[in-house]
């Protein structure tokens, strides 16, 4: 998916409207996970608007977002940045290759105390 | 048979782009009664109007139809054009083929077809137009200003200067409004009281101006030139004529714990009080909610102490009836309430204040006598954080306002500069989204704050404020620095958004003035008529019409005054001729119309009519006073027989328009 | 009752309080009493009639009569008195020129109803107590009076004469649950298609004889909008089904909040169209949306359509409240 | 009731001169789009609308009639729209009583600042009336196109 309609796709999944952002920085101010994130919420929204999707897709920061929704609660323009981050995560999941956890690598990592559910959720969450 | 001229306007490309003006002109040329049908780029221009006037004289037209923009824009223009060419101005009809046709339909074919239909409707209506002449109604040469802030004061002074009597109705015990609470004013830092109080004294000494302080407007009847207003003078339990303003009672009153709204509740006052030293009228007022004498009848210290014997516990509200020719609304603004912004912990810590409260803290007449102290422990603050756009520029969600409040950037720069100048040891941070300083010498003022007084302006926002053992832990973002700042602040000042005074909404209903969704008064035209309300005779001055700083408010107050003077200078007003008229032969005299008339314009009389075989019948018939009737038409529908009809919008005319549209 | 009324009429004429009396006299048929004006004792004795068929509402004639010289006496049944007071409220009748004698009423009968019960060829009717003795061409019959009543008397809304100078018989009271809206509710329960069919069926029979307009006390304009060709909706005969609907909708709207539900329009309609249902629909809506109101019940309250409150319901209430879709 | 897709309803909109006409103009200045078959007639106030005009419009072939007025309380003549509100409620109830589709008539309060609402209302009203199809029950065959 070249970036033009990938950006539309992300905005459509998120249901948020990034263009409403007036770059006040309140989301970044209230973000408790500020230090762990390489791309901060206000930059995130700006990058979605400008279609800089590759950096977002490869950024590690999107997994450190706690989804505490403080940014959504306090954004004066109701831009809902958390939804955008969630949408980018979905876009990453929907991409085809470069998975971390390959299915055939799983038997080696198994041990019998591991509950069944852990395996399936690992596949689902950390495949990427 | 009518001789009608049709003039289709291109409006440059506004109409011509999506409506084939040629086709419209040709199609309307075929309509019955049309003798000339042309089109031109700019009908409203000098050349366009001359084209119409020549056509009227040349073709001896009896009526013209202009297919152009909305009648609200140029109906008056084209009526004047017709009048100058000798045609009765009310034989002009406008077909709105711009706002309601070319601008709302993309497809040229449907646009053209609709423009033709609207043209036909206008032609059908002009066929049935009767020449009308506007009547006259007298103008009461007195003006009413509602609101005693700087806007009301300036307007009243300018009107009185022109020699007309003005009454100011102020709901607080003294005039002065928000400006009297301000310490210094930007951009010249001169002290607000020094420039305001002389004007207040001028108002008091000007014999043309009468001040109704501690009063509110109760009811407004009538219309432009003939307003009949009822003013409720609230009981202040002090006789204004006797009270000398010595203030003795305000020291002796035992009830001490009354929150002082002049200082926004930062300190307390007595049950009997004078808001501030330079109050006009300098008269004490008893606060009925706290005075134990009024509540339980046990006290009376103030009446014993008062040497002038001015205290009168039996005083009651007075209703005063007055006549006015014009009314100016100057109800001003208030900061919005901060209780929905709990991320700033405004309600948790007394050290988080709004800018107006900060203004009072800096003010010499304020609660701390002018030395800036933290409200919590009265110590000197070393680190102050200013937060901009609190509640402004939100997406009009339930807690904030969608507009920019315009004055916060400037007064915050002023606060920062004054604080740094008076207390060089304090660190001042200002978190901003954009610093908006559009006025004269405004940006230079802001730059001085940054360069000479090294105020830390940080492009970013405060995320949250948590009070912790006496300190305010502020967590904010620094977007340019790409970092999150954690500041231990002693005080946080919120630049709260401003909204119109709550008393404006009921007042608008009384004045039938309309308001926008943010409760600001809607002006007649945002660019061309900013100080008039769409309701004739009602004018707007100051922040009631939109966020404004003092220079703009004074400018607008002067403008409103000039409009009022223009109105009061006339002896009588030409009133709207499109008023109701009753056909005596068909009137039943059943007074259905009188019951629905909002202006009481209909009276009844017994009239003699010729009955069958030379008898005279006496019948009760209605008669409409054209000066009082405003032409709403409620009576025409209440009248079953159709005896009552509205000139200019008669039953047959509207039906002709309906037929032309549905044909 | 008949003798008392005739005696009263003569007495009023004799002692000079009035110079003429407005009452009923025999029309084409004995059961079809028409209003008449009597100026002398003899006239009253010979032609003045009062029976179970004197249903005609005399108040509308007073609009013209009260403008003539001298005072006129009139006999008003309870439902007529509401129309009288409504016309007084609209300044159409000069009160000081009218001497009102209220007469108690326990219901008027209609020959159509008797015929519907299968009794035909009636030549005379005698009232005795609860039922009627009918002498017909096919022998005598008796029928309970209650079975011969007019529709409006079955659902009589009030037996109280609201304005009178003098009263004959006991003045009654309003009757709160008169079930006069049952038929309206039945219609409202129908689907729009059924209602449209019902009313097309009824109104298509209208021959525009204007009897309803001429008899209606509320419909008393100097010049009716349908007769005035400058009004734009002038029409003599109904040329299309739209005009049939149009006449009755506009007429119902004009009398809305002024109609006292006296039922005369349906009584006089030669085509037996239930026109009173239209007016009752308005009355029911007004009672439900704007509070109970009976036109002509007093002199000062403003009719609902010439009044308002700031928190009236929105017109969209019709969409939610309306009959089945 | 079969609705052919070429059916474009004729809609007559009575707009009060002070608020809704200004609202209609505002939707024009904002270039908001609504169908061309809505035609606007300017009346001084919503209380000027006589039921005769609505029935006249239906007779002449209109498929939907909408009255726009100022929000109650904002009326330039203080009480105009209060009367209009009562009259229209009773009239619409009567039309519904006679079996005429009640979605063909409508009242909408539009202030001078609500251009978007005006355009949205017009779009929605045209859709409703288009679904209803041609006005058969109140049309006058002599005026049928």
Whether A28 and A89 map to the same domain: the answer is yes
Measured CA distances, B275 to B174, B280, B369, C312 (Å): 7, 10, 15, 43
Q: Does A112 touch chain B (CB under 8 A)?
A: no
Q: What is the dihedral of CA D47, D52, D58, D62, to 10 degrees?
A: -50
How far is the alpha carbon of A75 from chain B, nearest alpha carbon, in Å? 8
Residue D1's pLDDT band (cuts 50, 70, 90): very low
Q: Does C278 touch chain D (CB under 8 A)?
A: yes
Residue A99's pLDDT band (cuts 50, 70, 90): low
Residue A52: strand, helix, or coil:
coil
Residue C324's pLDDT band (cuts 50, 70, 90): very low
Q: Which residue of A has its CA nearest to B343?
A: A74
Helix and strand counts by DSSP (H, E) for chain C? 13, 9
- Which pLDDT does position A86 carry in this prediction? 86
- Which pLDDT does position B6 carry in this prediction? 95
Q: Does D139 touch chain B (CB under 8 A)?
A: no
Are the Cβ atoms of D90 and C285 closer than 8 angstroms? yes
| pLDDT tens column, C211-265 | 999 999 999 998 999 998 888 888 888 888 888 899 999 999 999 999 999 999 9
pLDDT above 90 (res A116): no
| pLDDT tens column, C267-309 | 999 999 999 999 999 999 999 999 999 999 988 888 999 999 8
- Strands B580-582 vs B644-646: parallel, antiparallel or unpaired: antiparallel
Residue B499's pLDDT band (cuts 50, 70, 90): very high
In sequence order, which residues have a C-beta less than 8 Å from that of residue B579 and are 6 or more positions away?
B135, B601, B624, B626, B629, B630, B631, B646, B647
pLDDT above 70 (res A98): no
Residue A126's pLDDT band (cuts 50, 70, 90): low
Are the Cβ atoms of B395 and A42 closer than 8 angstroms? no
> Which of A19, A26, A78 has the highest number of chain B CBs within 10 A, making it the mutation to test binding with B?
A26
| pLDDT tens column, B176-194 | 999 999 999 999 999 998 9
Beta carbons within 10 angstroms of residue C311's beta carbon: 6
Domain housing A40: 3-95
Chains touching chain D, criterion 3+ CB pairs below 8 Å: B, C
**Whole-number Å distance between alpha carbons of B38 and B9:** 9
Q: What is the DSSP string of B623-648?
A: EE-TTT-----HHHHH-TTS-EEETT
Average pLDDT in chain B: 92
Phi, psi at A115, each rounded to 5°:
-65, 150
| CB-closest option in B395, B477, B482 to A29 | B477
Query: Is B354:B338 a contact under the CB 8 Å cutoff?
Result: yes
- Which pLDDT does position D5 carry in this prediction? 61
**Whole-number Å distance between alpha carbons of B167 and B151:** 14
Domain CATH number, residue A79: 1.10.1060.10
Mean pLDDT of B404-414: 95
| pLDDT tens column, D20-72 | 999 999 999 999 999 999 999 999 999 999 999 999 999 999 999 999 999 99
Half-sphere exposure of C148 (CA within 13 A, CB side): 28
| pLDDT tens column, B236-294 | 999 999 999 888 899 988 988 899 999 998 899 999 999 998 999 999 999 989 988 88
Chains touching chain C, criterion 3+ CB pairs below 8 Å: B, D
Q: Does A31 touch chain B (CB under 8 A)?
A: yes
- Which pLDDT does position B104 carry in this prediction? 92
- Which pLDDT does position C325 carry in this prediction? 44
- What is chain B's length? 663
In sequence order, which residues have a C-beta less than 8 Å from that of residue B427 and are 6 or more positions away?
B382, B383, B384, B456
pLDDT above 90 (res B418): yes
Measured CA distances, C179 to B631, C116, C151, C186 (Å): 43, 22, 11, 12
- Which pLDDT does position C29 carry in this prediction? 86
Bond from prior residue into B187 cis (ω within 30 degrees of 0) = yes
| pLDDT tens column, B89-118 | 999 999 999 999 999 998 999 999 999 999
How far is the alpha carbon of B368 from chain C, nearest alpha carbon, in Å? 48
Count of the separate structural domains present in chain A: 2
Residue with tokens 């409240």, as numbered in its chain: C321
- Which pLDDT does position B210 carry in this prediction? 95
- Which pLDDT does position B354 carry in this prediction? 94
pLDDT above 90 (res B68): yes
> Which of A20, A21, A27, A30 has the highest number of chain B CBs within 10 A, making it the mutation to test binding with B?
A30
Whether A59 and A114 map to the same domain: the answer is no
Q: Does A42 touch chain B (CB under 8 A)?
A: yes
Q: Which residue of D has its CA nearest to B534?
A: D18
| pLDDT tens column, A48-80 | 888 888 888 888 888 888 888 888 888 888 888
Helix (H) or strand (E) holding A27: helix A26-30
Tokens at B93, concatenated: 């009809």
Q: Does D107 touch chain C (CB under 8 A)?
A: yes
Beta carbons within 10 angstroms of residue B286's beta carbon: 26
Query: Is B463:A26 a contact under the CB 8 Å cutoff?
Result: yes
Whether A75 and A119 map to the same domain: the answer is no
Whether A63 and A125 map to the same domain: the answer is no
Q: Does C310 touch chain D (CB under 8 A)?
A: yes
How far is the alpha carbon of B618 from chain C, nearest alpha carbon, in Å? 8
In sequence order, which residues have a C-beta less than 8 Å from that of residue C139 and are 6 or more positions away?
none
Q: Does A68 touch chain B (CB under 8 A)?
A: no
| pLDDT tens column, A75-85 | 888 888 888 88
Whether A80 and A33 map to the same domain: the answer is yes
Q: Considering only CA atoms, which of A10, A8, A61 is closest in space to residue A33? A: A61
| pLDDT tens column, C156-186 | 999 999 999 999 989 989 988 888 999 999 9
Q: Does A40 touch chain B (CB under 8 A)?
A: yes
Interface of C with B in 297-316 (CB under 8 A): 302-303, 305-307
pLDDT above 80 (res B78): yes
Chains C and B touch (3+ CB pairs under 8 A): yes
Whether A77 and A16 map to the same domain: the answer is yes
Are the Cβ atoms of C281 and D72 closer than 8 angstroms? no
Interface of C with D in 241-270 (CB under 8 A): 241-243, 245-246, 249-250, 252-253, 256
Tokens at B384, concatenated: 């102050």
Bond from prior residue into B281 cis (ω within 30 degrees of 0) = yes
Diameter of chain C measured on Cα atoms: 65
In sequence order, which residues have a C-beta less than 8 Å from that of residue C177 and are 6 or more positions away?
none
- Which pLDDT does position A117 carry in this prediction? 78
Q: Percentage of chain B surpassing pLDDT 90?
A: 74
- Strands D38-43 vs B572-575: parallel, antiparallel or unpaired: unpaired
> Which of D87, D99, D144 has the highest number of chain C CBs within 10 A, making it the mutation to test binding with C?
D99
Mean pLDDT of C149-157: 91
Beta-bridge partners for C105: none
pLDDT above 60 (res B542): yes
- Which pLDDT does position C323 carry in this prediction? 46
> Which of C91, C233, C258 has the highest number of chain B CBs within 10 A, making it the mutation to test binding with B?
C91
Interface of C with D in 188-207 (CB under 8 A): 188, 192-200
Tokens at B367, concatenated: 């609660």
Whether A91 and A109 map to the same domain: the answer is no
Question: Measured between beta carbons, which residues in chain D are less than 8 angstroms from residue B634?
Answer: 45, 47-48, 77, 79-80, 83
| CB-closest option in A22, A23, A28 to B484 | A28
Mean pLDDT of C193-206: 93
Are the Cβ atoms of D90 and C308 closer than 8 angstroms? no
Residue A46 burial class via C-beta count within 10 angstroms: exposed 0-12, middle 13-18, buried 19 and up:
middle
How far from each other are the two terminal CA atoms of chain A, in whole angstroms? 17
| pLDDT tens column, B425-466 | 999 999 999 999 999 999 999 999 999 998 999 999 999 999
| pLDDT tens column, B511-526 | 878 788 888 998 888 8
Own/partner contacts of C263-268, CB < 8 Å, gap of 24 or more, are C263/C79, C263/C150, C263/C151, C263/C152, C264/C55, C264/C56, C264/C57, C264/C212, C264/C215, C264/C216, C264/C217, C265/C212, C265/C215, C265/C216, C266/C151, C266/C152, C267/C55, C267/C110, C267/C150, C267/C152, C268/C211, C268/C212, C268/C215
**Whole-number Å distance between alpha carbons of B460 and A41:** 13
| pLDDT tens column, D92-142 | 999 999 999 999 999 999 998 899 999 999 999 999 999 998 988 888 888
How far from each other are the two terminal CA atoms of chain C, in whole angstroms? 51
Mean pLDDT of C42-65: 91
Regarding the domain delimited by D11-138, which CATH topology (the fold level of the hierarchy) does it fall under?
A: Rossmann fold (3.40.50)
| pLDDT tens column, B336-361 | 999 888 889 999 999 999 999 999 99
**Whole-number Å distance between alpha carbons of D120 and D24:** 11
Query: Is B272:B225 a contact under the CB 8 Å cutoff?
Result: no
Domains defined for chain B, CATH in brackets: 4-127 (3.40.50), 142-234+317-332+501-568 (3.50.50.60), 248-305 (no CATH), 335-499 (3.50.50.60), 580-646 (3.30.70.3270)
| pLDDT tens column, C90-149 | 999 999 999 999 999 988 999 988 888 888 888 888 888 888 888 888 888 888 998 889
| CB-closest option in C67, C90, C223 to B586 | C223
| CB-closest option in D21, D33, D45 to B632 | D45
Q: Which residue of B has its CA nearest to D142?
A: B663
Question: Measured between beta carbons, which residues in chain C are less than 8 angstroms from residue B591?
Answer: 90-91
Task: Report H helices in chain C.
Answer: 2-14, 41-47, 62-65, 78-89, 111-116, 151-154, 182-189, 192-203, 211-215, 241-255, 264-268, 276-290, 317-321
């Amino acid at each position: 998916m070249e970036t033009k309609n990938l950006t539309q796709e992300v905005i459509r999944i998120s249901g948020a409207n990034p263009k409403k952002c007036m770059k006040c920085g309140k989301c970044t101010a209230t973000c408790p996970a500020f230090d762990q994130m390489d791309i901060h919420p206000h930059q995130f929204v700006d990058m979605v608007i400008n279609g800089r999707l590759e950096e977002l897709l490869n950024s590690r920061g999107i997994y450190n977002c706690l989804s505490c929704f403080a940014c959504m609660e306090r954004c004066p323009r109701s831009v809902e940045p958390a939804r955008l981050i969630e949408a980018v995560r979905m876009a990453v999941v929907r991409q085809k290759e470069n998975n971390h956890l390959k299915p055939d690598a799983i038997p080696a990592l198994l041990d019998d105390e591991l509950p069944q559910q852990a395996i399936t959720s690992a596949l689902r969450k950390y495949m990427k | 048979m009518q001789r009608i001229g049709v003039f289709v306007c291109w409006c440059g490309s506004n109409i011509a782009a999506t409506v084939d003006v040629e086709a419209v002109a040709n199609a309307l040329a075929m309509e019955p009664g049309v003798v000339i049908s042309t089109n031109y780029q700019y009908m409203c221009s000098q050349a366009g109007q001359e084209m119409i006037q020549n056509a009227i004289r040349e073709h001896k037209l009896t009526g013209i139809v202009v297919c152009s923009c909305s009648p609200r824009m140029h109906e008056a223009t084209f009526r004047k054009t017709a009048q100058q060419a000798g045609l009765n101005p009310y034989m002009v009809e406008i077909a709105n083929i711009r706002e309601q046709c070319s601008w709302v339909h993309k497809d040229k074919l449907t646009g053209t077809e609709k423009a033709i239909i609207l043209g036909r409707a206008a032609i059908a209506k002009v066929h049935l137009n009767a020449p009308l002449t506007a009547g006259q109604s007298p103008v009461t040469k007195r003006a009413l200003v509602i609101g005693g802030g700087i806007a009301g004061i300036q307007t009243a002074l300018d009107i009185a200067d022109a020699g007309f009597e003005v009454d100011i109705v102020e709901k607080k015990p003294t005039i002065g409004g928000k400006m009297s609470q301000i310490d210094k004013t930007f951009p010249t830092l001169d002290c607000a009281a020094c420039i305001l109080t002389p004007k207040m004294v001028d108002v008091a000494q000007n014999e043309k101006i009468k001040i109704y302080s501690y009063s509110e407007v109760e009811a407004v009847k009538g219309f432009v030139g003939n307003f009949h207003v009822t003013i409720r003078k609230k009981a202040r339990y002090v006789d204004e004529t006797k009270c000398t303003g010595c203030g003795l009672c305000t020291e002796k009153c035992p009830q001490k714990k009354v929150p002082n709204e002049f200082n926004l509740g930062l300190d307390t006052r007595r049950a009997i009080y004078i808001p501030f030293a330079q109050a006009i009228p300098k008269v004490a007022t008893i606060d009925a909610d706290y005075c134990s004498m009024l509540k339980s009848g046990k006290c009376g210290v103030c009446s014993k102490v008062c040497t002038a014997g001015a205290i009168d516990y039996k005083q009651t509200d007075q209703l005063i009836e007055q006549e006015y020719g014009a009314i100016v609304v100057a109800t001003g603004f208030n900061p919005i309430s901060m209780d929905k912004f709990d991320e700033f912990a405004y309600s948790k810590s007394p050290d988080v204040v709004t800018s107006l409260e900060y203004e009072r803290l800096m003010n010499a007449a304020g609660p701390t006598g002018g030395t800036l102290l933290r409200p919590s422990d009265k110590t000197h603050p070393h680190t102050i954080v200013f937060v901009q756009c609190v509640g402004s520029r939100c997406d009009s969600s339930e807690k904030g306002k969608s507009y920019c409040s315009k004055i916060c950037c400037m007064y915050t720069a002023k606060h920062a500069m004054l604080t740094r100048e008076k207390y060089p040891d304090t660190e001042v941070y200002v978190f901003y989204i954009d610093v908006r300083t559009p006025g004269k010498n405004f940006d230079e003022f802001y730059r001085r704050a940054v360069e000479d007084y090294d105020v830390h302006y940080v492009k970013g926002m405060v995320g949250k404020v948590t009070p912790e053992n006496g300190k305010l832990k502020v967590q904010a973002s620094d977007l340019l620095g790409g970092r999150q700042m954690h500041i231990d602040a002693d005080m946080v000042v919120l630049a709260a958004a401003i909204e119109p005074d709550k008393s404006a909404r009921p007042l608008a209903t009384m004045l039938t003035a309309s308001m926008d969704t943010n409760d600001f008064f809607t002006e007649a035209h945002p660019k061309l008529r900013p100080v008039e309300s769409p309701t004739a005779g009602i004018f707007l001055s100051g922040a009631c019409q939109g966020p404004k700083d003092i220079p703009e408010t004074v400018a607008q107050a002067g403008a409103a005054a000039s409009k009022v003077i223009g109105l009061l200078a006339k002896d009588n007003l030409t009133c709207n001729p499109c008023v109701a008229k009753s056909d005596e032969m068909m009137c039943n005299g059943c007074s259905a119309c009188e019951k629905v008339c909002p202006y009481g314009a209909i009276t009844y009389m017994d009239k003699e009519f010729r009955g069958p075989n030379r008898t005279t019948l006496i019948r009760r018939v209605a008669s409409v006073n054209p000066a009082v009737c405003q032409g709403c038409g409620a009576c025409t529908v209440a009248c079953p027989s159709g005896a009552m009809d509205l000139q200019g919008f008669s039953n047959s005319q509207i039906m002709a328009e309906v037929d032309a549209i549905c044909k | 009752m008949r003798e008392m009324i005739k005696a009263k009429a003569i007495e009023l004429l004799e002692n000079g309080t009035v110079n003429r009396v407005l009452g009923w006299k025999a029309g084409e048929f004995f059961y079809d009493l028409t209003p008449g004006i009597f100026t002398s004792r003899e006239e009253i004795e010979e032609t003045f009639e009062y029976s179970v068929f004197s249903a005609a509402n005399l108040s509308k004639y007073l609009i013209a009569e009260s403008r003539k010289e001298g005072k006129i006496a009139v006999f008003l049944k309870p439902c007529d008195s509401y129309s009288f007071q409504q016309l007084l409220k609209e300044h159409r009748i000069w009160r000081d020129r009218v001497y009102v004698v209220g007469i108690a009423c326990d219901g008027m009968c209609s020959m159509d109803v008797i015929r519907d019960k299968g009794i035909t060829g009636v030549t005379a009717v005698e009232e005795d107590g609860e039922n009627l003795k009918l002498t017909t061409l096919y022998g005598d019959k008796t029928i309970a009076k209650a079975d011969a009543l007019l529709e409006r008397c079955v659902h009589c809304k009030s037996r109280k004469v609201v304005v009178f100078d003098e009263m004959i018989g006991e003045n009654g009271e309003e009757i709160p649950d008169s079930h006069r809206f049952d038929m309206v509710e039945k219609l409202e329960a129908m689907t729009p298609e059924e209602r449209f069919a019902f009313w097309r069926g009824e109104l298509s029979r209208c021959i525009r004889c204007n009897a309803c307009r001429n008899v209606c006390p509320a419909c008393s304009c100097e010049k009716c909008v349908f007769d005035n060709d400058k009004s734009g909706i002038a029409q003599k005969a109904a040329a299309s089904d739209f005009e049939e609907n149009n006449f009755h909708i506009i007429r119902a709207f004009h009398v809305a909040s002024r109609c006292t539900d006296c039922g005369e329009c349906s009584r006089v309609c030669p085509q037996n169209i239930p026109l009173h249902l239209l007016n009752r629909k308005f009355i029911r809506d007004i009672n439900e949306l704007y509070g109970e109101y009976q036109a002509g019940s007093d002199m000062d309250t403003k009719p609902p359509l010439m009044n308002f409150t700031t928190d009236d319901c929105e017109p969209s209430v019709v969409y939610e409240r309306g009959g089945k879709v | 009731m079969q609705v052919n897709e070429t059916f474009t309803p004729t809609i007559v909109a009575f707009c009060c001169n002070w608020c809704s006409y200004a609202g209609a103009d505002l939707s024009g200045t904002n270039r908001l789009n609504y169908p061309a078959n809505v035609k606007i007639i300017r009346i001084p106030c919503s209380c000027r609308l006589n039921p005769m005009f609505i029935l006249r419009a239906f007779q002449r072939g209109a498929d939907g009639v909408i009255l726009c007025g100022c929000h109650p309380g904002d009326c330039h003549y203080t009480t105009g729209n209060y009367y209009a509100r009562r009259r229209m409620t009773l009239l619409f109830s009567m039309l519904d009583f006679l079996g005429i589709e009640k979605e063909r008539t409508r009242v909408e309060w539009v202030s001078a600042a609500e251009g978007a609402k005006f355009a949205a209302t017009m779009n929605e009203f045209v859709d409703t009336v288009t679904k209803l199809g041609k006005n058969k029950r109140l049309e006058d065959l002599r005026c049928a196109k």
